[in-house]
Structure 1
Amino acid sequence: MKPNDLEYGNLTSSILAPYEKRAASVSAQFLRWFLESIYRLDSQDADDAAVDGQQDKGVDGLYVNDTTETIHLIQVKTKQKKKAKLGDTDLKEFYGTLKQFQDAKWIEKTLEGNAHEDLKRALRRNKISDKIAAGYKVEGVFVTNVALNDDGLDYTQTLDENFVIYDAERLSNEYVSLDPKEGVEGKFEFDVSDTEVVSYDASNNVKSRIFLAKGLQLTNLSGIEDGRLFERNVRLSLGNTKINKSLTESIRNKSEHRNFPLYHNGITILCRSIIRDDEQKLGLEDYVVVNGAQSLTSLFKARNSITDDLRILVKVVEVQGDHALADKITTFSNNQNAIKARDMRSNHNIQQRLKKEFEEISGGQEIYEVKRGEDSKGKEVLENDFAGLILLSMDVGEPWAAHQRYKIMDESHSKIFGRPNVTGAKVYGLWRAFYEVWDAVKNIEDETFANYTLTRFFLAYAVSEIVKSDEVGKRLFESFDKIIENEELDDLMKVIEEIAGTTADDLNAEYEAAQEDGDFDYKAELKSPNWCRTTVARLKAQHKKDVKRKKAKPIAVLLEPFSI
């Protein structure tokens, strides 16, 4: 993205087009785009953060990051004229609002006054008064689609770190273009001369055609072998699973070919346009399969066994480049099958953005896997739901839930991944750190306790909390991009290794004491928030004692060499 891409005409006609149904005004649409594309929130969280209406005290969005204990107040200003710039007037007015919001008493007055109900609801829902009283930081975020003029630039020099400005240049620099590949670019024709085609035109002139396609024809679709055909599919071929083996066997059993449509749910193909539609041919241009990767891959592998009797129900939908419609069809067509929550998140912008950032950082040597069945080509793989477990333990601070892996890409997805500070750099850095912690598990003397899965996540949590007990350590968790850019990650891992080793030693003492007390069930306690928190509190206290006794270095000293 370039700053000019955010000029009002292009902004409204292109960038904000997917948001038109979610918000009436351009500023409200721009806010949601910002929250999803720059702040990396889930669409539901972006909608919840929006404050739409008059009398909103200059606040268009309100988002609370409980992990960093920060309240983000967001104001959006769009300019319509080309080459327009923003001065200091709007910035000064918003800065005044920001100062007022730091007073819990002012919040209470606002709730009692004539402020817009959306703002009041947001303040109550997020318990803003209580969180300000508890010491949460208030950060002002000003978002505009233009550059600042000289007055605006001069004013920024007077602001502190709690007032952040996203102008056109910063937005374009921080935007991660996903440049989604959506299947095969090209044309394909089905021979429909010997089958009936059902035509169904839905609302908004969306064309669909349903027919029984010859299995052999389907194997001629481009992109089966290299996976391009399935770019929008929520999962790729899973290899020789029990179901795929059974499917392949039925393909090779020629006596079953006429019954194949009875056993098979069918294949859904989206195309940009239907270019031929007559009794002989159905022609498609730019197409992708959104449901049926397993079946087509099995057909392709057993293509020498396919007879003319083998047919599969095919539904073709012309989406004309409508991404929102394509997303909806993909979701609903896959909800009818045995698809995991992880599969349904595979095309989510949050996951695709993390994949791109992660693999750019690794130079393509390690893979961030978002789809089951991706070809890793022998490279080291981090599965995105396992990355979620690492974030849950080390960043969110809830290791007691790490046994519920099924929730990571489902109900916990937004809490874990949908936050502004979850970047590819953080995922990569914490992944490396987690394996340093995992290696330190060997210091734990009781082997059954050491090899229990939750123990490694608890130890990772303990190490991260010890690091975060220092202000410099807290900043580390927001600095992985700088550390990686300056090639300091390997040296940082040596520091993590040192902290993890001493923490594992201290955990031995905690485990022994608990055993002496009798009736200690570590399998239950590692799933207890109370036990995890109180034990980590004691480990942190022990670390402080070690620092005072010169047995350990302060976290700030250990982290001094790094770009934090």
Structure 2
Amino acid sequence: MKAADLRHGKFSDELEKHYSNRAPDFSKRFLKWFLENIFRLDEFAADDACVDAKHDKGVDAVYVDDVSEVVYIVQSKTKTTDKATLGDTELKDFYGTLVQFGSQEKIEKLAGETKNERLKQAILRNEISEKVAAGYDVQGVFITNVPANKDADQYIEKAEIIDLYDSEEIAANYVDLNVDGGISDSFVFDVSDSDVIEYDAGGASARIFLAPALNLTKMEGISDGALFEQNVRLSLGNTKVNKSIKSSIREKAEHVNFPLYHNGINVLCREIINEDDQAISVQDYVVVNGAQSLTSLLSERAKITDDLKILVKLIEVKGDITLSQKITRNSNNQNAIKARDMKSNHNLQQRLKAEVDTVSGGKIAYEIKQGENNRGKEVISNEAAGLVLLAADLEQPWSCHQKYKIMDDLHSEIFGRPSVTGARVIALWKCFQTMSEPLEELENKSFANYALTRYFLFFAVIEIVKDSKDGASILASLDEIAKDGRLDELARGFSSLAVNAAIDLNAEIAPEEDEYFDYKNDLKSQKWCRAMSAKLLAQHKKDVRRDKADSVADAFSDLLA
């Protein structure tokens, strides 16, 4: 990505394609894109963080990182003209906003005085005043789609409480996961100031040494992620680990100590070539452990000195895929990694991947690890499939914001059932994808754009379908429907029922202007979701009796014919 790619004229179409169903305009879409792609939040955390109402007191999003004990206050300012830049005026205003979060007393006063009910709910829901009193730091994050000018740069140097992400910084931190992985080229490591340990394990040979950090930043594929194709974690963005690495890089006195407390990087390659006692070159290489380190080094390269060296382990695998996978798994298993990463090789996931490919004739890819090259195919990630199954089969739409449980606590419960086949995953996914049109029928657009609303409406329609004898028969025959190529008929019937349910839902929820309707809490409540779905089912039956809506049999008449 280049900084110019974030300009309004160029980026607006991209944002509309991916975020039109979750945000009404460029500014709000840009904010959610940033939270997900640069801050690395999932869609549910990003939606929860956003404070989408008037009188926001200069706050567009609030996110609490309980691991690093930081409260992030985010403000987004987008520009529509291509020649615009960011000056210091808006940054100074934002600094004034952050003063309101300076102490427990100030935060409680803000919550009591603000006219923005969404901001108040975010402060209370996240217990921000209590956490600040307990020692959490408050950090401002100012984001914009244009470059900062000299005035802004000079101000940011003094205002340490603000992290500025202008278009240049965002482009540097963005990792494109759709590029081809691995580097099919050679690279020369500088070993002129290090002893080299040679090790032959029988199946592979290795070299271990200290390399100058500046030398490593010249490796291809750091900025776009291509270098890390086999790294199960990739770059984790703005995390506590990254901040710690960057902090060490910025302190020049610590450079000489860097190898003492840094794990180093692991590089797999097809061939190691000993040039001489000054250099070692490799051919066709990939980094399987060290994405965070290398991306941090690249972003802070101006502060790197000759004293900063990194422990490097080169492993020549000669194209042995099994050995590469084993090294990748074991080297990454030494660090905290996401459950999804380690479930990528689970038999259940591998089976579903193969079944989805077979049933779809290779047109749909079941993605079990971020960074897979699935160009030209429709992609269903295993996490996304898990959320759909959680809402439809396990009937828990209120839990769909807890994405981390899909590949962890709930993995066996969601995927480890005989009924969960690749065909069923495809069928339910196609039904779930029809939710966009029904959500447009909702009059409360903030409610409609909230990620959990989609899962609730999906669950509610499943309940309506299941209540009918014909509908129950269809749900029991999803495998056959998918294999017979009748998914379009299934999706049309589902969409028809969902549109009617959305129209009925309008009569049950508060209007857009009622900021006291705390849907972010309601949609996470089992009691609220079950009660509301029961109301929609009852209303559906009334509508059918009065000939105001199609019955389930009518909606799926093409399938039942």
TM, length-normalised to structure 1: 0.51
The 8 Å contact of residues 522 and 529 in structure 2, kept in 1 or not, is answered as no
What residue identity is the alignment partner of 2:259? Answer: P
Which residue does 2:14 correspond to in 1? none
Which residue does 1:407 correspond to in 2? 405
Measured after TM superposition, the shift of residue 227 of structure 1 is: 1.9
Deviations 1:269-304 (Å, cap 9, x if unpaired)? 122333438644433232211111121122223334
The 8 Å contact of residues 198 and 210 in structure 1, kept in 2 or not, is answered as yes
The 8 Å contact of residues 440 and 497 in structure 1, kept in 2 or not, is answered as no
Secondary structure of 2:461's counterpart equals helix
Q: 2:555 aligns with which of 548, 558, 562?
A: 558
Which residue does 2:268 correspond to in 1? 270
The 8 Å contact of residues 441 and 504 in structure 1, kept in 2 or not, is answered as yes
Which residue does 1:371 correspond to in 2? 370
**1:230 pairs with 2:231:** no
What residue identity is the alignment partner of 2:269? Answer: C
Measured after TM superposition, the shift of residue 536 of structure 1 is: 5.9
Q: 5 Å matches for 1:105-116?
A: none
Structure with higher Rg: it is 1
**1:474 pairs with 2:475:** yes
CA–CA distance in structure 2, aligned partners of residues 478 and 547 of structure 1: 28
Q: 2:210 aligns with which of 212, 220, 232?
A: 212
Measured after TM superposition, the shift of residue 183 of structure 1 is: 1.5
What residue identity is the alignment partner of 1:421? Answer: G
Deviations 1:471-492 (Å, cap 9, x if unpaired)? 5642684478689998678855
Measured after TM superposition, the shift of residue 312 of structure 1 is: 0.5
The 8 Å contact of residues 206 and 316 in structure 2, kept in 1 or not, is answered as yes
The alignment covers a number of residue pairs equal to 364
Q: Structure 1 residues 486, 387: closer, same or farther in 2, change over 3 A?
A: closer
The 8 Å contact of residues 319 and 326 in structure 1, kept in 2 or not, is answered as yes
**1:433 pairs with 2:434:** yes
CA–CA distance in structure 2, aligned partners of residues 434 and 542 of structure 1: 19
Secondary structure of 1:324's counterpart equals helix
The 8 Å contact of residues 355 and 369 in structure 1, kept in 2 or not, is answered as no
Deviations 1:287-344 (Å, cap 9, x if unpaired)? 2111111211222233344332211011222333333332232223223333222344
Measured after TM superposition, the shift of residue 387 of structure 1 is: 4.6
CA–CA distance in structure 1, aligned partners of residues 461 and 268 of structure 2: 48
The 8 Å contact of residues 270 and 283 in structure 2, kept in 1 or not, is answered as yes
What residue identity is the alignment partner of 1:500? Answer: A
Deviations 1:344-388 (Å, cap 9, x if unpaired)? 44677948949997xx99x99x9979539x999xxx998763553
What residue identity is the alignment partner of 1:552? Answer: A
Which residue does 1:189 correspond to in 2? 188
Which residue does 2:544 correspond to in 1? 547
Secondary structure of 2:268's counterpart equals strand
Q: Structure 1 residues 213, 526: closer, same or farther in 2, change over 3 A?
A: closer
Q: 5 Å matches for 1:432-451?
A: 432-435=433-436
What residue identity is the alignment partner of 2:498? Answer: E
Secondary structure of 1:205's counterpart equals coil
The 8 Å contact of residues 369 and 381 in structure 1, kept in 2 or not, is answered as no
Which residue does 2:462 correspond to in 1? 464
Q: Structure 1 residues 304, 454: closer, same or farther in 2, change over 3 A?
A: closer
CA–CA distance in structure 1, aligned partners of residues 444 and 260 of structure 2: 58
Give % identity: 47
The 8 Å contact of residues 367 and 379 in structure 2, kept in 1 or not, is answered as yes
Which residue does 2:496 correspond to in 1? 495
Which residue does 1:389 correspond to in 2? 387
CA–CA distance in structure 2, aligned partners of residues 492 and 477 of structure 1: 13
Q: 5 Å matches for 1:145-544?
A: 183-202=182-201, 204-241=202-239, 243-276=241-274, 279-345=277-343, 350=349, 353=353, 370-371=369-370, 385-399=383-397, 401-417=399-415, 419-421=420-422, 425-426=426-427, 428-435=429-436, 457-468=455-466, 469=468, 470-471=471-472, 473-474=474-475, 477-478=478-479, 491=492, 494-501=495-502, 504=505, 508=508, 540=537, 543-544=540-541
CA–CA distance in structure 2, aligned partners of residues 501 and 525 of structure 1: 15
Deviations 1:212-264 (Å, cap 9, x if unpaired)? 11112212222223322110112333444554355335334433321221342
Which residue does 1:106 correspond to in 2? none
Secondary structure of 1:247's counterpart equals helix
Secondary structure of 2:283's counterpart equals strand
Secondary structure of 2:263's counterpart equals coil
What residue identity is the alignment partner of 2:314? Answer: V
Q: 5 Å matches for 1:127-146?
A: none
What residue identity is the alignment partner of 2:197? Answer: V
What residue identity is the alignment partner of 1:311? Answer: K
Q: Structure 1 residues 551, 525: closer, same or farther in 2, change over 3 A?
A: same
Q: Structure 1 residues 256, 280: closer, same or farther in 2, change over 3 A?
A: same
The 8 Å contact of residues 390 and 430 in structure 1, kept in 2 or not, is answered as no
CA–CA distance in structure 2, aligned partners of residues 262 and 543 of structure 1: 66
Secondary structure of 1:255's counterpart equals helix
RMSD: 5.1
Which residue does 1:102 correspond to in 2? none
CA–CA distance in structure 2, aligned partners of residues 533 and 523 of structure 1: 14
CA–CA distance in structure 1, aligned partners of residues 523 and 246 of structure 2: 47
TM, length-normalised to structure 2: 0.51
The 8 Å contact of residues 249 and 300 in structure 2, kept in 1 or not, is answered as yes
The 8 Å contact of residues 248 and 298 in structure 1, kept in 2 or not, is answered as yes
What residue identity is the alignment partner of 1:463? Answer: V
CA–CA distance in structure 1, aligned partners of residues 253 and 484 of structure 2: 62
CA–CA distance in structure 1, aligned partners of residues 222 and 521 of structure 2: 46
Which residue does 2:25 correspond to in 1? none
Tell me, which stretches of 5 or more residues in structure 2 are unaligned?
1-178, 511-519
Q: Structure 1 residues 300, 535: closer, same or farther in 2, change over 3 A?
A: closer
Measured after TM superposition, the shift of residue 400 of structure 1 is: 5.2
